[in-house]
Structure 1
């Protein structure tokens, strides 16, 4: 009797195993299909923009996907149409200032918020998080009036100052410092390390990934900003790259989409290079920030 039952049950188990494999294959196919859709949505516009920037002058922009006569002449025309190097230099000044100030202040602020034992820590943390609810447009006018009263209108310092430190960067550093084991700090205290020594020699070396996240986000914010420089800057000699690209459409008598696409790719290239150089630390920092908040 038992033999019959086991033999009768075997086909059902086999059938169930086959159904399970099919479900797993369907789930795997669904995941890959989703990833492919996301990849096309995210990279499709960038690829199309690049292909547009290398199309020949006589080609129709919407004629096929691949250009029939690829050329890099439009990138040369971008450099000749407006002072590209000057605008890039202005943007780099703002970006370097933003990276420096954000890494310094976000690290110190995140360290202070991650340490217990001082009154008002939770209140400060709550206030900082609450500021994230206000969009930039709601405080834009007051920020401009403040910069004007400080005499920083039409200066690169006026462009940089509102973004000198970001609350999100402080939160990233706080999360990274909270992930440091308590025993490590206690060992440093027993070795005679003071507060500054623990911060610079124990906590900062363990938060390299978070610092990379701060560097990348600060650079992208400064490099890609358009609205705030548009409000602050009036002299074209102080224009950042994004404001310079705004004038690119009027730099020629014909609104050439190939020229505009080449200018946009020129602005995108430094961000891609920075991310590729720091991506290993970036993903490590994102993972460290997810350990404990």
Structure 2
């Protein structure tokens, strides 16, 4: 095996971890792939003899690439990111043994869409510090050079991000079976047009976020969300259960193509947040497979 083949094998061994880092940083599957590919290009041009810990080096490089991408994205869409934006979902089968290794790596730590929504509104450096330290245990001393700050200042970035996350991202019910019972009750009530049954399964302060690309919807409160659910009940007849970022959710189609991915956050046997991605351009870029129950 020559040096190039050895380096390629070493990179492949870390690819899943690198994709997981990039996905949490960017909330976009295609952009995460681009960031990982850029890391490979930089590695192939580097003197690996000077790298003591290749895995740590690659994680740092991916972090730096993602930070640059976030800053560029922020400049391009300075006022375009609104409260209806839903990050790319990772959709897998409800049969846990069918997920491939790369999907499993993406889903490590079960990062939900509700958390990714909060991360989208962090400053790029805050997001980097939080993701690398809190999710991947990278020391602040290694993160600091990426953001151009001292370790103490980097710690403060992560601390600010942590407070935002803890105050904004609802905690998901960890039992997928209980998630399923709530989601199935929601879908059945939507299909039947049963307003009272919908109210019974919705938290009083539930939040509905529907990203359709242009003119999304942000609805708060059980009564308002129940009314919207009745509007969306057409999808209930064509919905397929799936794991959305590790949680029980629904993928809806019109018989030919996917029209929406619905991610539910369940707590205390009620839906506390519902994120719907119905942007057809973005859905077309994702690997989505419709699965029967």
Which structure is higher in strand share?
A: 2
Higher helix fraction (1 or 2): 1
Higher Cα radius of gyration: 1
Q: Normalization by structure 1: what TM-score?
A: 0.25
